[in-house]
Amino acid sequence: MILLAFLLLLPWGLTKLFETPRVFEATTTEPGVKALYYESVPWRGKPTRVFAYYGAPAGKKLPAMVLIHGGGGTAFAEWVRMWNARGYAAIAMDTGGMLPERAAADNLWNPVRAHHEFGGPEGWGGFKAVDEPKEDQWSYHAVAAAVLGHSLLRSMPEVDASRIGVTGISWGGYLTNIVAGIDSRFRFAAPVYGCGYLGEDSTWLKNFAEMGPERAAKWLGWWDPSVYLRGAKMPMLWVTGTNDFAYPFGSLQKSYRLPTGPRTLTIRVRMKHGHPDGAKPEEIFAFAESMLRKGPKPVRVVAAEQDRVQFQGKVVKAELNYTTVAGKWQEREWVAVPAELRGKTARAAVPEGATAWYFNLFDERGLVVSSEHFARK
């Protein structure tokens, strides 16, 4: 009954989004991938189409990925090719009514973008459109584009529909949070940087202040990922950095505690925020292998206390990352010190004056699994 009530309150009609959308040809070209449009939800009473790149290596019953870009991005052909090279089919769609006219010769992650005639609302956040009908706002359309992209991917004859994951970067991580909460067909989700509780602490606090309390509450009640994350039951990998400018530690922690499925954290000290940096962490590829191809399982944190963490799996190195600075998470300096490994426990004395700290565990491939962070008020 609780699940039914949740589904009835969703802004999206999932039955329609779970159907295979109609596909249209696109003239944009990129080596090794196919450009296309697929039909999406109406905007202001007019039909819309989403631009996407799709690619797949030779084979049958392939695992596959849905790739959701962030602010300033678009459908990245290079991202699709990265997954194709590892044996996965992949689709990357534009979530803001745009299409990449061409990629920059010196930077494939910085294409020239243009609005097309069937495009929906442009991103990001759609804060200024909060008084428009829900169905005409960016978050509604961006989530619909991702779910429909998943439905299209599942229809591809070479794809194994039971082995599909989703990952997104920044605003794409934000969208991944929502999609994970409403589209249970995914085997796993890997948001990078993105989280919920944007009205409590995020780079958009100024936007909510400008909107005023009532309009901000309306936006957050419709579009903050915290509204939907409780519905996420699949395994999730959360990837971020200690000083992320957009999605701070506190909001991230409250977000990753909401889903009911297993969670894994990868928190690198001062990880850069951007599309190539968010697409390339080896932890994401390894997680996909473990979820979709029976690859090695990642190290799992079993329990964490302030000065120790218990784990399962093979760990070859551990460290305690701490900061003695208070205030904004984005401005804190972090220090890494070795932690002692004893069996399946990593221990380290928390330095006096530390305001926040967490453990990083490294496997023999150099991949990182992190504990939750602890903080002193």
Answer whether 250's CB lies under 8 Å from 200's CB.
yes
State the pLDDT at residue 119.
95
C-alpha torsion sign, points 48, 54, 60, 61:
negative
Answer whether 225's CB lies under 8 Å from 255's CB.
yes
> Hunting for tokens 């979530």 — which residue is that?
95
Q: 303-375 falls under which CATH superfamily?
A: Immunoglobulins (2.60.40.10)
Which three-class secondary structure state does DSSP give residue 318?
strand
Share of the chain above pLDDT 70, in %: 96
Alpha carbons 205 and 279: distance in angstroms, whole number: 26
Which three-class secondary structure state does DSSP give residue 187?
coil
Kind of pairing between the strands at 188-192 and 159-169: parallel
The stretch 68-83 carries a mean pLDDT of 96
Span 95-131, pLDDT tens digits: 999 999 776 656 778 888 889 999 999 889 999 999 9
Alpha carbons 50 and 31: distance in angstroms, whole number: 20
Q: Calculate Rg over the CA atoms of the chain.
A: 20
pLDDT at 8 over 90: no
Dihedral of CA atoms 217, 219, 222, 223 in degrees, nearest 10, equals -120
Span 230-276, pLDDT tens digits: 999 999 999 999 999 999 999 999 999 999 999 999 999 999 999 99
pTM metric for this prediction: 0.96
Q: How confident is the model at residue 144 (pLDDT cuts 50, 70, 90)?
A: very high
State the pLDDT at residue 6.
52
Alpha carbons 133 and 83: distance in angstroms, whole number: 37
Span 147-194, pLDDT tens digits: 999 999 999 999 999 999 999 999 999 999 999 999 999 999 999 999
The topology (CATH level 3) of 2-298 is Rossmann fold (3.40.50)
Answer whether 185's CB lies under 8 Å from 164's CB.
yes
The stretch 288-295 carries a mean pLDDT of 96
State the pLDDT at residue 104.
61
Report domain extents, the chain.
2-298, 303-375
Residue 37: strand pairing partners: 24, 51
